[in-house]
Chains A and B, each alone.
Chain A
């Protein structure tokens, strides 16, 4: 049987030896050095220097002088912007255009969970979630009974208006015998369903077109500068899947009072799905990190008692499942987590040196007390400072972080929020300060 450690080593080995045609031997060396640096960090060693991980949102578009709308709708412009960004600022991963999204694809699907530039929000804005009760309060049992059926026939038809025809289908588990096949397929041939299938085909073709640009764009920067791809996959904390995706913040908060048992049962059902999804993506991409943005468990969003009941046990189960599969959960801990540090820090169920935690507004000295020797951590370069401060402010802050909390190794320099706006001189201030003070 393959152990967790063997799987971990295998995925890092696959990542380090990706079949890349590097532009120069220097780029190849830089790639190798960076992948080693990341492995050292996760295993709580001291790498050659502290790595920098940038969460840049739409910053590459604005930096290149184009609007977000142009970048989301014109793949050539998207390529130009992200290549320029990786040329101008070399962090320790490729800043990937994969997260920026395809405007035409969302138009085809008539996506309702988000508004994006030119479709509800300003052309220079980022896409923004528009939560709704895409799962109704009385539909928990449908989700729990068969999550895939719920997604196919309830959730996707509501969230993608162009797939609304799927709501006329029967559950696919009806098709068990020859005589039942004909009656079942009638639903698939009715006009609303036909329109949905055609939309799906069109969406698939658009996604392929978009993906070829994403691959070529990231590939160019990876080969030119030796910047490894970083996000192998993405998944969510079960409470956030309910709160962000299915029920919305207000509704999930009320469900917690009104039908707590259903909320718990639904999350239990979502845990294995989240684990399998993350591992499938990581093994496909041969990149070890699974991005998990944390939203509705932050300070203020619930009591510690509720956090220990509704958020942490299920998130921990996802983390442990991913770690057992050899992947590295990358927890993006948005907002403040000061209340939660004692609940999470040092949890013995998570093997030491197996995960990465990037904090936003948490007190980093307090994080260090609990994370040092347990898990890799970083973050906290303030988004407001990067956006509105001077290079001196930023350099001073980075220097302080490096001096105060990086000393033991297992540390990553990073903002803890998505930074859509940052002056170029502030980015250079971070990179220059890191070069000067980030070596071990």
Chain B
């Protein structure tokens, strides 16, 4: 374990983190060890986010750093190392009519680094596409994102379609983004509302553990 690498990532030192990764690989560190450091660093980043020390820019930069580190590490990995056991499955998408993706992408990233298998359906996702994906991958959690007021009805329709397909009791559904709040959660018939990406992680962990 490299305290230095963990701190570089956690303290938002992008150049330092990438240089250290290369140095560690040159000195024979295993990809697994480096990725474990990334996970440890992301735990610190997540805690700082929850404590109100870090905000969206820090999550985005952390994402960039992890992307850069993965690219360095990948050529050194065996297929067994790449195969990590996941906590559970989550389907994420921005609901029909809405094309906003920034918040949704951060939720996808935070769920992913926190050990979930994430299926990102993208933006403007029709209710039926959620239903089909649920039937296919059998997730424990579905996360509906939306920014505009039109998303309220799309969320309601999506939850309704999941119910009509007989899948509602197999999944927990969370909603979030833009003007979405507790009232919208109730209106849509979802299970919970999350204010940010870490809330999405906490909700998913609470439901799956």
Contact = CB atoms under 8 A, between A and B. Distances in A.
A131 B54 CA distance: 24
A301 B52 CA distance: 11
B150 A384 contact: no
B2 to A, nearest CB: 22
Nearest to B180: A384
Interface in A234-277: 249-250, 253-254, 256-258
A384 B183 contact: yes
B93 to A, nearest CB: 15
B181 A384 contact: yes
Contacts of A122: 96-97, 124
Contacts of A256: 57
B135 interface: no
Interface string B22-65: 00000000000000000000000000000001111100110010
B15 to A, nearest CB: 9
Given A254-B61, A300-B56, A383-B179, A121 B149 contact: no
Interface stretch (B98-106, B112-120, B161-169): B98-106
Given A254-B64, A384-B179, A421 B56 contact: no
A382 B183 contact: yes
A419 to B, nearest CB: 6
A421 B152 contact: yes
Contacts of A249: 102
A115 interface: yes
A121 to B, nearest CB: 6
A128 interface: yes
B98 A384 contact: no
A63 interface: no
Contacts of B157: none
Interface string A379-400: 0001111011100000000000
Contact of A387 (B56, B99, B149): B149
Contact of B181 (A131, A253, A382): A382
A253 B179 contact: no
Contacts of B207: none
Contact of B12 (A257, A389, A421): A257
Residue in B99, B100, B179 whose Cβ sees the most chain A Cβ within 10 Å: B179
B55 A302 contact: yes
Contacts of A384: 149, 152, 179-181, 183-184, 187
A130 B99 contact: yes
A125 B100 CA distance: 13
A306 interface: yes
A43 interface: no
B148 interface: yes
Contacts of A303: 53-55
B179 A417 contact: yes
Contacts of A258: 14
Nearest to A62: B150
A420 B55 contact: no
Contacts of B55: 300-303, 306
Nearest to B196: A300
A419 B149 CA distance: 7
A382 B53 CA distance: 28
Contact of B102 (A124, A250, A254): A250
A57 B98 CA distance: 15
A335 to B, nearest CB: 8
A420 B157 CA distance: 18
Contacts of A419: 149
Contact of B183 (A125, A128, A306, A385): A385
A387 B61 contact: no
A253 B105 CA distance: 14
Interface in B166-209: 179-181, 183-184, 187, 196
A128 B152 contact: no
Contacts of A389: 183
18 contacts: A121-B124, A124-B150, A128-B99, A130-B99, A250-B102, A258-B14, A300-B196, A301-B57, A306-B57, A382-B179, A384-B149, A384-B183, A385-B183, A388-B184, A389-B183, A417-B149, A421-B150, A421-B152
Q: What are the 4 tightest A-B residue pairs by CB atom distance, in nearest-first order?
A: A253-B57, A388-B187, A421-B149, A383-B179
Interface of B: 12, 14, 53-57, 60-61, 64, 96-100, 102, 124, 148-150, 152-153, 179-181, 183-184, 187, 196
Given A250-B102, A302-B56, A420-B149, 4 more contacts: A125-B98, A125-B148, A254-B57, A382-B179
